[in-house]
Structure 1
């Protein structure tokens, strides 16, 4: 697990560092397949109960990596949600569509791309 992906006070830090670890286990062929399937850059803007914000970027367009901070180049979609919501999504307790419909998740940019985040999380989880 990659500690440099963690923000203190965020439960989803574990998930994101796990995602980083999973991505590093992909072979080049697997990574290319994921990039081809997803073809997008996600910027996750996550807020915790203390109203602090953590920003992570999942690049599934060029590098097949996850990193701390805003997307460079610009994200195709920004996903704005709470720490708890991200954890529930990753555990499969909540699906993205329901989170969006109930206002727990907001998007800016390519909304259709946001629907592929579930698959990215599931794919990475299978790798761990």
Structure 2
């Protein structure tokens, strides 16, 4: 899953881990996660050097994570910093608070963006099982 990693982004480790966790899901677990989430998230992450990397979490059709823009179109695009994404994933920051303080911006289905917390948490518990 190293094809998900991007030099200079702490969150690329996290997204590679998320992709690896999805890969370990059984078909039934993947189907349950897709049914529960039913959306495509495009994450536009910027680092301290002001570079932007884009990843897509497809929990509508395939249950995968890949580098680059969403194909087909994302249901929600989430724009945030590398640091904010790592804080969200670790549980140090809550998505609603990040949005309210301007650390996270969304385009598209904002209600779907609220499900990202759950996706990150379910993958980290899956990773903890490994």
State whether TM-score is above 0.5. yes
The offset of 1:126, in angstroms, is: 0.9
Q: CA RMSD in A?
A: 0.3
1:111 matched residue in structure 2:
110
Number of residue equivalences: 127
2:27 matched residue in structure 1:
28
Write out the 4+ residue segments of structure 1 that deviate beyond 4 Å after TM superposition.
none
3-state SS of 2:65 partner: strand
Stretches of structure 1 lacking an aligned partner (at least 5 in a row): none
- TM-score, structure 2 normalization: 0.97
Stretches of structure 2 lacking an aligned partner (at least 5 in a row): none
The offset of 1:50, in angstroms, is: 0.3
1:68 matched residue in structure 2:
67
- TM-score, structure 1 normalization: 0.99
Alignment of 1:1-128 (within 5 A): 2-128=1-127
CA distance in 2 between partners of 1:13 and 1:34 (Å): 21
Deviation string, structure 1 residues 74-107 (Cα, Å, up to 9, x no partner) = 0000000000000000000000000000000000
CA distance in 1 between partners of 2:110 and 2:12 (Å): 24
